[in-house]
Amino acid sequence: SQQGEEDPQALSIQEGENATMNCSYKTSINNLQWYRQNSGRGLVHLILIRSNEREKHSGRLRVTLDTSKKSSSLLITASRAADTASYFCASMDDGSRLTFGEGTQLTVNP
């Protein structure tokens, strides 16, 4: 079964605007991660938030985690055309496996 589900499936914004993507998961987690995938490429790790953290920042990225609602959000501020990509959340269980959601396709228009 799919652990993570992203919302929206697709998002189109103008350069300079903020982009918010949401993720829900089903079971308890050790941490939650966000990855980015450019077209035709492998995934690249962006940021990790642990289950005892509520918010984390990295450059223009801000991630929040609400374990009571089993949800996370990724905010990209001041978006750029180069941010155009697919973004995936991935939940880490108590073992060694990451379970990925279906992804959000972000398009940033110049």
Partner 1 sequence: DAGITQSPRHKVTETGTPVTLRCHQTENHRYMYWYRQDPGHGLRLIHYSYGVKDTDKGEVSDGYSVSRSKTEDFLLTLESATSSQTSVYFCAISARGGAGLSGANVLTFGAGSRLTVL
Query: Which residues form the interface with partner 1 (CB under 8 A)?
Result: 1-2, 4, 30-31, 33, 35, 40-45, 48, 50-52, 88, 90, 92, 94-103
| Amino acid letter for position 51 | S
Which lies closer to partner 1 via its Cβ, residue 15 or residue 22? 22
Tokens at 109, concatenated: 């228009």
Closer CB to partner 1, 2 or 14, in the complex: 2
Question: Is 5 or 15 the residue whose CB approaches partner 1 more closely?
Answer: 5
Tokens 């279906």 correspond to 102
Report the nearest approach of partner 1 to the CB of residue 73 (Å): 18
**Cβ closest to partner 1, residue 18 vs residue 97:** 97
Q: At its nearest, how many Å lie between partner 1 and the CB of residue 74?
A: 15
Q: Could you give the dihedral angle defined by the CA atoms of residues 67, 23, 100 and 31, in that order, rounded to the nearest 10 degrees?
A: -30
Rounded to the nearest whole angstrom, what is the least distance from the CB of residue 43 to partner 1 in the complex? Answer: 5
Burial of 4: CB neighbours in 10 Å, binned 0-12, 13-18, 19+:
buried
Find, among 31, 94, 105, the residue nearest to 63 by Cα: 31
